[in-house]
């Protein structure tokens, strides 16, 4: 999809009438007839294998039945899953209405007065910050991908989205607006987290806070965000203020931030950190923040859409996907197939950054019909890929013709 129907730039996923998004390939049973017969260009530098071909439809992922794009549930259990099948370029961001939601705007929040962030703990004197205090430090922070550490296959891994953010770097906020005591080694950031409806089965515990060492704030460029895709934060995404930690899982990106406490090395982990310990790859459940590893996303990759094409009289599948997470760009992507030899994918255009996702595609000629498993590997042992190693992002697809 080159989405010429959309106005300039980056709103591809929110573009109404967008054929790829409308195809909803993740949920559709079998091939999507609505796209049959559509001739795509397939003549670009990176999709030359499909030049002159005919796109016959989209092959469905199997076992992914959660609806996309609608907010369901209440409070901590509210979820909106993003349909990732339309991502076609590393520049794509998800518009604010379709960005995934994990925990809806708390019904008990009070935004009637001026929003205040209480800063205390190891400081010369406690201060209260307002949005006006943060404004002079607020700047564009670029596009980033956010993923819930509890992402899962049945949702099409739809607890992941990318957006362009604006905010105030937390390091600068602490340097310029707070008199931090010399004993402090980090900051505990908390957000409003009271909902009248409890989480079913105690699945999510109340209390949203995370502790960051100063070095982590500096290295990640963590910022207090006030804008998402050029608009004020939507209520479900933290209006008026949320933390954003580039490269870390969503559980550390506290929404509705209302307090910051300066702490030292003896600070116990928060309930939120303990709740998410295994999902952020900790050893056991660390009791002290200093024993807690950065909640950084390892390099990951997965297919996001599989199209069936006819090219020169033969059936060829076009596998489109994304790469995200990690600490440095890689070109060592390999697509591992249950019934066919692995494919070394040429990432085109190459991956150049780890902030937001990178798209890739490859041609696949399955030898047999039926349900195939697809998963990605990074053929570079120096790059940590814990979730790829465990098969976390494997997807099943049904091939009806070869």
Q: Which residues bind Mo ion (CB under 5 A)?
A: 102, 148, 250-251
Specify whether the CB–CB gap between 374 and 346 falls below 8 A.
no
Taking the chain, what is the end-to-end CA distance rounded to the nearest angstrom? 24
Strands lying side by side in the sheet with 358-364: 54-59, 300-311, 314-324, 358-364
**Residue 346 DSSP symbol:** -
Q: In this chain, which residue has its C-beta nearest to ligand MTE?
A: 250
- Regarding 261 and contact with ligand MTE (CB under 6 A), the answer is no
CA distance 244 to 141: 10
Residue of 85, 90, 103, 330 interacting with ligand MTE (CB under 6 A): 103
Contact with ligand MTE (CB under 6 A): which of 102, 261, 305, 387? 102
Give least dist CB 28 to Mo ion, A: 27
| Residues in 81-100 at the binding interface with ligand MTE, rule: CB under 6 A | 99-100
115: nearest Cα among 99, 100, 134: 134
Q: Which of 58, 224, 254, 273 binds ligand MTE (CB under 6 A)?
A: 254
| Among ligand MTE, Mo ion, none, residue 13 binds (CB under 5-8 Å by kind) | none
The yes or no reply on residue 162 touching ligand MTE (CB under 6 A) is no
| From Mo ion, ligand MTE, none, interface partner of 256 (C-beta below 5 to 8 A by class) | ligand MTE
Residue 257 or 347: the one with the smaller Cβ distance to ligand MTE is: 257
Q: How far is the CB of 213 from Mo ion (least distance, A)?
A: 21
Question: Exactly one of 144, 255, 375, 395 binds ligand MTE (CB under 6 A); which one?
Answer: 255
Q: How far is the CB of 100 from ligand MTE (least distance, A)?
A: 5
DSSP annotation string for 29-98: SSS-GGGTTPPP---SSS-GGGTT-EEEEEEPEET--PPSS--BS-GGG-EE---GGG--STT----TTT
Taking a C-beta distance cutoff of 8 angstroms, is the pair 244, 165 a contact?
A: yes
| Whole-angstrom Cα Rg for the chain | 22
Query: Does position 250 bind ligand MTE by CB under 6 A?
Result: yes
Please state the closest distance from residue 254 (CB atom) to ligand MTE, in A. Answer: 5
For residues 247 and 218, give the distance between their C-alpha atoms in angstroms, rounded to a whole number. Answer: 13
Applying the rule CB under 6 A, the residues between 170 and 229 that interact with ligand MTE are: 191-193, 208
Question: CB-wise, 255 or 372, nearer to ligand MTE?
Answer: 255
Residue 100 or residue 393: which is nearer to ligand MTE going by CB?
100
Query: In whole angstroms, what is the distance from residue 52 CA to residue 64 CA?
Result: 32
Decide whether 138 or 204 has the Cβ nearer to Mo ion. Answer: 204
**Cα dist. 68→19, 56, 358, 398 in Å?**
16, 23, 22, 20
Segment 50 to 79, residues that bind ligand MTE, using CB under 6 A: 76
119 in contact with ligand MTE (CB under 6 A): no
325 is a site residue for ligand MTE (CB under 6 A): no
To which residue do tokens 């009791």 refer?
287
Using CB under 6 A, list all residues that contact ligand MTE: 76, 99-103, 146, 148, 191-193, 208, 237, 250-251, 253-256
């Amino acid at each position: 999809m080159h989405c010429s129907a959309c106005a300039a730039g980056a709103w591809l996923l929110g573009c109404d009438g967008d054929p790829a998004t409308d195809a909803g390939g993740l949920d559709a049973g079998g091939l999507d007839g609505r796209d049959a017969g559509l001739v795509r260009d397939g003549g670009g530098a990176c999709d030359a294998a499909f030049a002159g071909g005919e796109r016959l439809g989209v092959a469905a992922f199997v076992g992914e039945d959660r609806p996309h794009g609608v907010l369901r549930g209440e409070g901590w259990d509210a979820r909106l899953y993003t349909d990732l099948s339309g991502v076609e370029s590393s520049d794509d961001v998800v518009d604010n209405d379709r960005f995934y939601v994990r925990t809806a705007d708390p019904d008990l929040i009070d935004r009637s007065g001026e929003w205040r962030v209480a800063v205390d703990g190891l400081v010369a004197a406690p201060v209260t910050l307002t949005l006006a205090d943060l404004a002079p430090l607020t700047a564009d922070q670029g596009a980033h991908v956010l993923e819930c550490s509890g992402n899962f296959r049945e949702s099409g891994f739809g607890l992941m989205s990318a957006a362009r953010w604006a905010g105030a770097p937390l390091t600068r906020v602490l340097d310029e607006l707070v008199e931090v005591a010399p004993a402090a080694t980090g900051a505990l950031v908390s957000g409003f987290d009271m909902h009248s409806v409890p989480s079913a089965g105690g699945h999510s515990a109340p209390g949203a806070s995370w502790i960051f060492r100063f070095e982590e704030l500096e290295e990640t460029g963590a910022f207090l965000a006030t804008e998402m895709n050029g608009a004020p934060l939507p209520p479900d995404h933290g209006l008026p203020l949320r933390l954003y930690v580039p490269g870390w899982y969503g559980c550390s990106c506290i929404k509705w931030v209302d307090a910051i406490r300066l702490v030292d090395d003896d600070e116990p982990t928060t309930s939120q950190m303990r709740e998410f310990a295994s999902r952020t790859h900790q050893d056991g459940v660390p009791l002290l923040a200093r024993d807690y590893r950065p909640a950084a996303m390892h390099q990951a990759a997965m297919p996001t859409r599989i199209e069936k094409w006819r090219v020169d009289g033969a059936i060829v599948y076009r596998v489109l996907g994304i790469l995200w997470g990690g600490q440095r760009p890689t070109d060592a992507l390999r697509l591992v197939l249950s019934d066919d030899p692995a494919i070394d994918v040429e990432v085109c255009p190459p991956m150049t950054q780890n902030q937001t996702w990178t798209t890739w595609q490859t041609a696949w000629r399955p030898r047999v019909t039926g349900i195939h498993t697809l998963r990605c590997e990074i053929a570079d042992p120096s790059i940590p890929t814990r979730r790829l190693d465990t098969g976390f992002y494997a997807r099943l697809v049904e091939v009806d013709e070869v």
